[in-house]
Chain A
Amino acid sequence: MRADKDFRENTRARTETVKPLLQVREIEKRYGARIGCTGVNFDLYPGEVMGIVGESGSGKSTLLNCLAGHLEPDAGQVIFDTRADGPVDTVTMSEPERRMLSRTDWAFVHQHARDGLRTSVSAGGNIGERLMAVGDRHYGNIRERAIDWLGRVEISETRVDDRPTAFSGGMQQRLQIARNLVTGPRLVFMDEPTGGLDVSVQARLLDLLRGLVREMGLSALIVTHDLAVVRLLADRLMVMKDGHVVETGLTDQVLDDPQHAYTQLLVSSVLQV
């Protein structure tokens, strides 16, 4: 946990004044006897991007879904610094409150864009949905903001009335991102956001994500098995193996000087690619 200590020293000045946006404490999820993830602890600060890496089956998605309220953890707390009431444990908050959070301050980008889009609704309607969900009742405003967001994710305004089924995979993923970010969330959960896309499409998407994260000062949790993704996007890394976090630290330090044997294996296998 050496890198983590460095991180704390690096950011000590900040942490004394800034509260964590998310505090994760002893999260555990089991599927029967099988461990999904266990003993997970970390803090995420405003504007920080945390990567969660590890091979397939290591518990990344389980953890992310527990944090985002899609799965109920068997133990632990997920304390989010809400705008209205300050830090609140989202595991025990009421379902309406949690659903409201996921429509406003939280965003979730699925690996498969179709899981996160309404395929029977136009691109504009997809982006506008969250605005309408929080009470925007002015068509002109909603449409203007939908078109603005299409531009920000590099989709032509002329596609605003097309259904996402007519879009390429990369466009669908960008639309999903626009639809999530339109309400100005503070925390974005992403599960393999570039998975399943062509390499060149991936690169463009990563560029775009990096720009948006910086510009909007987003905090994000990005699950991926692709170390290139976290190299580009994440300030900090968490390495998972068999449901446990085996190493955490600043991204460059973990990737360039991995301490845990498993991380060394993970990094070297990538370097060979």
Chain B
Amino acid sequence: MSNYNFAYLDEQTKRMIRRAILKGLAVPGYQVPFASREMPMPYGWGTGGVQVSAATLTPEDTLKVIDQGADDTTNAVSIRKFFERTAGVETTEETEQASVIQTRHRIPEAKLREDQILVYQVPIPEPLRFLEPRETETRKMHSLEEYGLMHVKLYEDISQHGAIATSYAYPVKVEDRYVMDPSPIPKFDNPKMEMAAIQLFGAGREQRIYAVPPYTKVVSLDFEDYPFEATKAEHACDLCGAEDSYLDEVIVDDAGNRMFVCSDTDYCRSRRGAGHVGRLAQEEVA
């Protein structure tokens, strides 16, 4: 611990990142460039999110790290350990207990509060990139609010699949101004982005930070005749019976039997702790 500055990064770097975060909060959805630092983990492991968390954490904070909704994947565990070691902060798996939550691919099911910060790991921050690879041009499109291309992508989706097939990283417009990539969360989570907590997004390789302040308008793009739908599997959780949570489909045996379980492991556990029972759990009881 004493080998490192608090949370690994030196104070000057953290100040630089905080300035980028503040600018991001002042201009919701705008991608702020920042000088991303080498972190002792490979890109793709959330180095952007880690730097944002490092600049955000204080010794009093309690940190939760999730990956696809789970606290116990390799990625989540290694980031949690990293901050236990370099910042000595408390960590938790309980959403309610956390003051800073770093996430990859999910927003927790539990409603977040004003005293919480959600930090997203972002692989590709530029929502326009897939159709317009030129950075100079995408920057201009953002500054002039020329967002027709985003709908071209949705048009292509419908013409090829009969519906908007984009189910992850579904583009949103923030506060009627910037179009933003919400990182690869399922579109089921998009409506949750209008929340009480601060949302910070860090892209390490791409050197961008952006933010959504509390209670900011976040609208998923769509067509009048193909409206946005926050879809999930049409099941209840087989363990806790929740009908309102995003589910993972899990193959349970060699015969190919499947079960649906909450992707948010903490949500599922706390529901079961409160006595809720799903289909398969009932069979076990019986």
Contact = CB atoms under 8 A, between A and B. Distances in A.
Interface of A: 95-96, 99, 103, 118, 120-122, 124-125, 128-130, 132-134, 137-140, 142-143, 160-161
B225 interface: yes
B144 interface: yes
B148 interface: yes
Interface in B123-178: 131, 144, 146, 148-149, 151-152, 155-156, 158-160
A139 B158 contact: yes
A122 B156 contact: yes
B104 to A, nearest CB: 28
Contacts of B131: 118, 120-121
B137 to A, nearest CB: 11
Interface string B216-231: 0000001111100000
Contact of A132 (B152, B158, B160, B225): B152
A129 B148 contact: yes
B159 A160 contact: yes
A139 B226 contact: yes
B155 A132 contact: yes
A161 B155 CA distance: 11
A137 B144 contact: no
A19 B214 CA distance: 53
Contacts of B223: 137-139
Contacts of B151: 132, 137
Interface in B224-256: 224-226
15 contacts: A118-B152, A120-B131, A121-B156, A125-B156, A128-B152, A132-B152, A132-B155, A133-B149, A138-B224, A138-B225, A139-B155, A139-B223, A139-B225, A160-B159, A161-B160
B224 A137 contact: yes
